[in-house]
Chains A and B, each alone.
Chain A
Amino acid sequence: MAKPVTTVVPAQTDEAEAQAKAMERLQQMAAADVDALAEALRLARALHDRGLLTLAAALLEQADDVLRIVVDFVNQPGAVRGLKNLATAAQALGAVDLEAFGRLAQGAVASVDEAKADRKALETPLGFFKLLAYLADPDVSAAIRLLLAACKGVGRALRAEAEGAPVAGAGSSANRTAAGGAASDAGTGGESAAAGA
């Protein structure tokens, strides 16, 4: 007669036996990865010596609070501007053709060296007519053209900003007209404008 029973008695867990089993497993794992473990211990010791482990543990324990403080701080206008500048500078640097820039820099260095070598000329003031004569020099003329082109670009950007035209950027307060966006969908390259007309 097996009447329904609902009482369950958990097994007496033998602590010592469980611990011995765990240790045995640990030993097996350690033996299998002895080199990696030794390296990991070295790293841990170095981190411990510098107090970095304690710091990391504290950071993790307080992760939410720490992240909030960091985000609040970084979200201040000054910090945002700094990060933005950094991103823009990185982008500008990324746009520079290093090879071409290298050639320009080498040319400049060579000319500077040349000028430095002519010690006498360095001591003589550069007169107005001499300056005009330099403009006739094809090398100087080309360099000035480059600088003026850069100035033009800066000026255009300045004026655009003064007139309230949009500044590209994700989620910014951009208000460009619908036709003003740029995209190259599907990444396959479009037909030419002439073909599309």
Chain B
Amino acid sequence: MEMDVQPKWEASAQDATRVRLYVDGNPVEAPAGARLLDVLLKDQPDFPHICYHPALGPIETCDTCLVQVGDELLRACSTPVQAGMMVRTQAPAARLARKQAMDRLLVNHELYCTVCDNNNGNCVIHNTAMAMGLNEQAEPFTPKPYAVDDSHPFYRYDPDQCILCGRCVEACQNLQVSEVLSIDWERDRPRVIWDDDVPINESSCVSCGHCVTVCPCNALQEKSMLGEAGYLTGVEKTTLRGLIDLTKQVEPGYRPIFAVSEVEAKLREARIRRTKTVCTYCGVGCSFDIWTKDRKILKVEPQMEAPANQISTCVKGKFGWDFVNSPERLTKPLIRRGDAFYEASWEEAIEYIGQRLTDIRRQHGDDSIAFISSSKCTNEENYLMQKLARAVMHTNNIDNCSRYCQAPATEALRRTMGLGGDTGSISDLALADLVIVVGANTAESHPVLATRLRRAQKKHGQKLIVADLRKNDLASRANLHLHPKPGTDLVWLNAVAKLLLDSGRYDEAFVRERVEGFDEYAQSLAPYTLEYAERVTGLSAQELQQTADMIANAKRLSICWAMGVTQHRGGTETSTAICNLLLLTGQVGRPGTGAYPLRGHNNVQGAGDFGCAPAFLPGYERVDDAQVRAKWEAAWGVTLPTNKGLDNHEMVDAMHDGRLRAMYLVGEDMAVVDSNANYVEAAFEKLDFFVVQDAFFSKTAQFADVILPACPSLEKEGTFTNTERRIQRLYQALPPLGDAKPDWQIIQMVANRLGANWNYTSPREIFEEACSTTELMKGATYERLEGYRSLQWPVAEDGRDMPLLYTEQFALPGGRARFCPVTWQEPVAYEETYDLHLNNGRMLEHFHEGNLTYRVRGLREKVPMTFVEVSPELAAERRIEDGALVRLVSPYGSVKVRAVVTDRVAGRELYMPMNSPKDEEAVNRLTSSESDVITHTPAYKEVRVRLEVLGDKGASPLGRNNPRRHQPHPKPGVEVEKKWARADYRPLVGKLRADEAEREAAAWQNL
């Protein structure tokens, strides 16, 4: 399925007019306009085709799918079916042409399958040559005059093996849309080039891996596969060359070579495991197969059936998994004694935890202990964690780190529309006519989702408005880039809403029929005049009017937002303003429309869905609702607490004032990711007892009394829920390292020591207990999530799910949505000496604080340290050079980092990534304890600092190997016309002359 160009065969089969055509004399029915190749492949799955890939569409470079239609040879990949079409796949002219096409490809590719690391049963060239019964080639393989490009840490390009099909170029230019790769057709021997022909590692390549994934052979290959995948591929290069030469000289034809390589490929299956997993690096929810040999990770192999991403990945998902084998992994429980941690047995550690928590509870009460779960852990683990807090320890002091990012968006959606999740799917974003991105660096934080937007814009004319302080990737591509003053998004959103309202350009019928509270909302907009908005936001009236015009002209509008909106004192209010705007314009509940808060971690959505928040039980069922409590009490056989629980933010204050005495924290480096890190660390020091469960010895773990070694996602089973509310299963790819255990097992051990008497033997049991008790996910079962199947909640008991919400009614009383008038919260005020605004956020190459990704060598090479981005204007004013050491000072702390001078930031605004290999450089040494007034999400984005130039000039933190140093090279695609225009190109398609047809038929018969 090419997700947004060609409708899915099955879907289109129902909608489109069906026509009858004839294939080799047999009648076949297909939707009018369907791709002929797709139709042929239904009955002839082995029908040759190499450059065509369902995610990319026709590329037309290889000519291996030629068929005869009437008296003409056509490429089946680019021919739409028509009624009465007479297609002959086996006509001699077509077969001969296909053989010639294959011969031409093999001039560019040496077949040495048995000793090739791509011989794994899925090599497109190998399989096509086999299916064609190829035994020899008419023209010999001739090497190209180019060296192998081995420069990149994760993949290499071997020009000699490249058949110039252009799949990689199409994927880079039009699916990922990073626009780096092209084929230089002008050369005597064409080849793929990066940018204007530079080494891969010195290009604008963002290492997403699309090109490697779609390569039909071994020209582009993951370095982790080289010398590892095959039984004979690990031998020395010169010996390998000898083996290849020998095989080719001795074998009388390809068939025996293919037979041997088929056997060898089968043998590989005995030692290479392919396991479906779900990525943990953001909320998009990419799923793929991961290939492992013992504990070694050979590669990530995306699959077309993956519902969120198909074949797309980003650099972390494709290449960022080696941390699981890091020698720094925690493999044994550790217990603090004096000034050191001592390795201990599980029994010893659990017994100690049990004793201490029991004592503290007895002495200080139920609410003296708090639990923090993890948006990186599975739904099952989150469910157990809140069950431990509530059902075993009788407290609602349970939260997770979505408090740090998405709680305001969830609250805004809940109060205006009813459910705290994205209203549609990623596919809706691709369908929209206009997408507005507010306060989100989507290309770096949700890279695969950004590919859908870039593709929709480039290929289908989707319009894009980006409101952000930085000229990030999407902002630089946007039709309109709004750069408001920090913290003023609510003002321009309301001003635009007022413009639309005043000019009557809103969906009056939708508002009347489906939304409550219009009058009050309309009145609340009165102060947001153009003049006021210009003054507060710094945007011009023209920009605001253009925004309103673009919204008014869009049939389908979707709005995405993230931390640039939520991490403010007015995070919930601004999120609500976005929802209000969508309701006013009737842009919810239809395909291509809706509200999309982009979840930052793999299971931010699921951690909330499964009850890790003080006010909500699983399924967002309210703790303060007696009926709800009664249901869960019956299910769990306990009495539930009624006290209001503490959220993360409140917990820190409670540690300081002595109300909170102990904490059990899972999978979160709270010491450096919570705002005002120095204050948080001081709070940890005051705890009587602290249990930290993690895969690594994090900064937070340093404050613990007991550290429990947990397994990362590849070592366990379970489910995650992505930003689309999509529940997906992950399967165990590796055994736990050392004595580490999956989190669900550890939580159960702790719970049982505290008297729970649980007996879960698998995550399946946990999941099904949780879902069957909720109303939201009643019908979700492991069977319905088998393999790549997924469910987007709400899930009815019969298994029906809901990819698009609110098509009929909203999830609020009466089925109607609700306008919620909002109030603008002025950003935190600072003394004048703090004269620079410090923006902060993620980077593409690293995840969150970098705990995992700095342990992947290639990622660390790409971005070895944190830094501060300084605008060219400020750099000139303060004489700051690239690489200069500077100190940033806020009222809460200071850090020393190197500067990167870039026009991604402007004026007196700085930007600092939140990832850092050194705890003392973390941006949260500078952030405050201010928070969203409604949900307590820290106001990370409201920081001002002063900058001191320290005079030590070093190398730039972003070296030549960083893609940000280089300019992309946009092309329309592969530009196959340039190939066809070459003097040495002999066309294989076109009308057959009568004599030609006869001659070729005779030639075929003679063979």
Contact = CB atoms under 8 A, between A and B. Distances in A.
B100 A3 contact: no
Contacts of B136: 168-170, 174, 181-182
B140 A186 contact: no
B670 to A, nearest CB: 13
Interface in A157-196: 168-196
Contact of A183 (B46, B104, B133, B1000): B133
Interface in A126-185: 168-185
Given A174-B140, A186-B46, A168 B95 contact: no
Interface stretch (B245-253, B423-431, B562-570): B245-253
Contact of A196 (B246, B249, B332, B1004): B1004
Interface string B993-1006: 00001101111110
B802 to A, nearest CB: 43
Interface residues of A, number: 54
B5 interface: no
Interface in A94-111: none
Contact of A5 (B44, B47, B341): B341
Interface stretch (B456-464, B684-692, B860-868): B684-692
Contacts of B1005: 192-193
Given A174-B136, A179-B1003, A183-B135, A189 B90 contact: yes
A71 B133 contact: no
A162 to B, nearest CB: 21
Contacts of B99: 181-183, 185
Interface residues of B, number: 80
B242 A182 contact: no
A67 B235 contact: yes
Contacts of B702: 4-6
B42 to A, nearest CB: 14
B257 A170 contact: yes
Given A8-B340, A172-B140, A182-B136, A2 B92 contact: no
B139 A178 contact: yes
Interface in B121-158: 131-141
B518 interface: no
A7 B44 CA distance: 64
Contacts of B96: 179
B139 A175 contact: yes
A104 B228 CA distance: 53
A88 interface: yes
Contact of A186 (B44, B250, B256, B1000): B44
Contacts of A68: 236, 238-239, 242
A117 interface: no
A69 to B, nearest CB: 9
B357 interface: no
Contact of B246 (A80, A91, A175, A185): A80
> Which of A83, A84, A185: most chain B CB closer than 10 A?
A185
Nearest to A13: B343
B248 A196 contact: no
A112 interface: no
A187 B344 CA distance: 64
B91 A2 contact: no
Given A80-B250, A170-B248, A11 B344 contact: yes
B510 interface: no
Given A2-B703, A187-B46, A80 B249 contact: yes
A55 B236 CA distance: 22
B704 interface: yes
A90 B102 CA distance: 28
A64 B703 contact: no
B253 A190 contact: no
A68 B99 CA distance: 36
Contacts of B245: 75
Given A5-B336, A197-B997, A71 B135 contact: no
Nearest to B24: A191
Contact of A185 (B131, B251, B257, B998): B131
B1007 interface: yes
A74 interface: yes
B242 A75 contact: yes
Given A7-B340, A91-B252, A2 B690 contact: yes
A71 B236 CA distance: 12
A2 B250 contact: no
Contacts of B997: 196-197
B239 A185 contact: no
Given A2-B705, A64-B235, A91-B252, A11 B343 contact: yes
Contacts of B646: none
A43 B47 CA distance: 49
B243 interface: yes
A173 B103 CA distance: 14
Contacts of A8: 334, 340-343, 697
A190 B339 contact: no
B336 A2 contact: yes
Contact of B138 (A4, A171, A174): A174
B242 A71 contact: yes
Contacts of B98: 183, 185
A11 B333 CA distance: 10
A118 interface: no
B880 interface: no
A6 B46 CA distance: 59
A193 B138 contact: no
B111 interface: yes
Contacts of A9: 340-343
> Which of B90, B93, B998: most chain A CB closer than 10 A?
B90
Contacts of A71: 239, 242-243, 246
Contacts of B104: 178
Contacts of B135: 168, 170, 182-183
Interface string A6-23: 111111000000000000
A116 B136 CA distance: 49
A178 B1003 CA distance: 12
A29 B256 CA distance: 42
A37 interface: no
A1 interface: yes
B592 interface: no
B88 interface: yes
A87 B133 contact: no
Contact of B103 (A87, A170, A181, A194): A181
A185 B66 CA distance: 12
A195 to B, nearest CB: 8
Interface in A44-66: 64
9 closest A-B pairs by beta carbon, nearest first, are: A171-B248, A193-B1005, A4-B702, A196-B92, A185-B132, A11-B343, A71-B242, A181-B138, A7-B340
7 contacts: A2-B704, A6-B702, A74-B246, A168-B252, A181-B103, A183-B99, A196-B88
Given A171-B140, A187-B46, 12 more contacts: A2-B690, A5-B336, A8-B697, A80-B250, A87-B256, A171-B111, A174-B136, A182-B1007, A185-B48, A190-B92, A191-B90, A196-B93
Interface of A: 1-11, 64, 67-68, 71-72, 74-75, 80, 83-84, 87-88, 91, 168-197
